[in-house]
A and B are shown apart, each in its own frame.
Chain A
């Protein structure tokens, strides 16, 4: 039953997304793809929507997937499931395991988790860029538009950081990319 799948899926996400919002994205992608709820393209759209709406990405994504799969009840279940683990764990740590985080063994485990997560997030982002750019290139009439857009966006994002005082915010980047998308594909 979809409700149960949503519950378990997003509990998993909530439980293992150490390192914050972006760490949840590979996990959510895993869960969503393995249950067959969405494909990569639809997921990327949803990530974009979740980044542009108020609230933490992880929660918004959960709400979105839940709602699109099973309406309002689905949304509620998914959202509750994703915030619950963190809530409970923090509660548990505060109440019972005050010294747990100082424990050397716990520190060792966390010391291994962190770089792993960085690698996972990096690979996910890299893969998303690669797959959006390369697949169009391998078609009959090579489509360079994704590459073009990506390069422009990358230059814009990193260039603004180096040369201008103000860093471009994620929302700005998304807005720019939307405009670029319309411009480049509209020709």
Chain B
């Protein structure tokens, strides 16, 4: 089931280093790197569109975005897993204090 991809990728992993020494292939990859960034950003944008736009989630999102961006720019070694755990805890704490989950069935605002 997983095998075909495995084999393909294994082969690529062996040959990529040699392939990339060929100029036009290296150039192609330079272009591909742009597409990768766009695709990742696009994935986030799509998820955002489907998200219910409530205050707390949006604040969490904004803070995580900023935090992650700063971490990347300054190359701090603050793991994104940690960031997620913090977000989970914050959300839980807010829930316990306010008693209103941001899913359906919560308080009508």
Contact with A along B1-38 (1 / 0, CB 8 A): 01011101110111010001001100111111111111
Chain B residues near A122 (CB-CB < 8 A) = 41, 44-45, 48, 61, 65
Cα(A63)–Cα(B3), bound, Å: 11
Question: What is the interface residue range for chain A against chain B?
Answer: 35 or more
Chain B residues near A25 (CB-CB < 8 A) = 40
Contact with A along B73-90 (1 / 0, CB 8 A): 100010111011011111
* Interface residues on chain B, number (Cβ under 8 Å): 70
Secondary structure of the A contact surface, majority rule: helix
A150: nearest chain-B partner, CB-CB: B34
Interface residues in chain A, defined as those with a beta carbon under 8 Å from any beta carbon in chain B: 12, 16, 18-19, 21-22, 25-27, 30, 34, 41, 44-45, 47-51, 53-55, 59-60, 63-64, 67-68, 72, 75, 79, 104-105, 107-129, 131-133, 146, 149-150, 153-154, 157, 170, 173-174, 176-182, 184-186
* Contacts beyond the supplied A16-B84, A27-B80: 6 A-B pairs with Cβ under 8 Å: A111-B103, A112-B91, A117-B64, A118-B61, A125-B40, A129-B37
Interface residues in chain B, defined as those with a beta carbon under 8 Å from any beta carbon in chain A: 2, 4-6, 8-10, 12-14, 16, 20, 23-24, 27-45, 47-48, 51, 56-58, 60-69, 72-73, 77, 79-81, 83-84, 86-92, 94-96, 101-103
